[in-house]
Amino acid sequence: MREKTLALLLLSLGLLLGAAFLGALWEEEAAVVDFTRKNLPPCREFLFGTDWLGRDMLKRTAAGLSLSIRLGLLTAFAGAVIALALGMAAALLGAWADRLVAGLTDLIMGIPHMLLLILISYAAGKGAAGVAAGIALTHWPPLARLLRAEAAQIRTSPYVKISEKLGKSPVWIAREHLLPQLLPQFLTGLVMMFPHAILHEASVTFLGFGLPAETPAIGVILSESMSYLMTGKWWLAVLPGIALVVAVLLFEALGQCLLRLTDPKGAHA
Partner 1 sequence: MGNTAGMRDMAGMRETAAERRNGSWIFWLGGRLARLAALLIAVSAAAFFLVSLSPVDPLAVNVGQAALGSLTQEQIERLNEYWGVGIPAGRRFLAWFGGILRGDLGLSLLYRRPVLEIIGEKAVNSAFVMAFAWIFSGAAGVALGMAAGARRGSLWDRAITAYCMVISGTPAFWLALVLLLLFAVQLPLFPVGFSVSVGVEASQAGLADRLWHAALPALALGLTGVSNIAMHTRSKMLEIMESDFIAYARSRGETKKRLLFGHALRNVLLPAVTLQFASISEIFGGSVLVEQVFSYPGLGQAAITAGLGSDVPLLLGITLISAIFVFAGNTAADLLYGILDPRIRRERRKGALL
- Tell which residue, 80, 79, 205, has the closest CA to residue 131: 205
* Residue number, 145 or 168, with CB nearest to partner 1: 145
The residues that touch partner 1, with contacts defined as CB under 8 A, are 103, 106-107, 109-115, 118-126, 141-142, 145-146, 195-196, 199, 202-203, 206-209, 222, 225-226, 229-230, 232, 234, 237-238, 241, 244-245, 248-249, 252
* Residue number, 88 or 218, with CB nearest to partner 1: 218
* Residue number, 160 or 248, with CB nearest to partner 1: 248
Q: Least distance from C-beta 34 to partner 1, angstroms? A: 26
d(C-alpha 198, C-alpha 30), whole Å: 20
Rg (CA), the chain: 22
CA within 13 Å, CB half, 26:
21
Q: Least distance from C-beta 93 to partner 1, angstroms? A: 21
Q: Least distance from C-beta 5 to partner 1, angstroms? A: 16
Report yes or no: 7 and 246 within 8 Å, Cβ to Cβ: no
CA within 13 Å, CB half, 171:
0
Q: Least distance from C-beta 169 to partner 1, angstroms? A: 30
Q: Least distance from C-beta 189 to partner 1, angstroms? A: 10
* Residue number, 174 or 247, with CB nearest to partner 1: 247
* Residue number, 43 or 107, with CB nearest to partner 1: 107
d(C-alpha 172, C-alpha 170), whole Å: 5
Q: Nearest-5° angle of CA 153, CA 154, CA 157?
A: 100
50 secondary structure, DSSP code? B
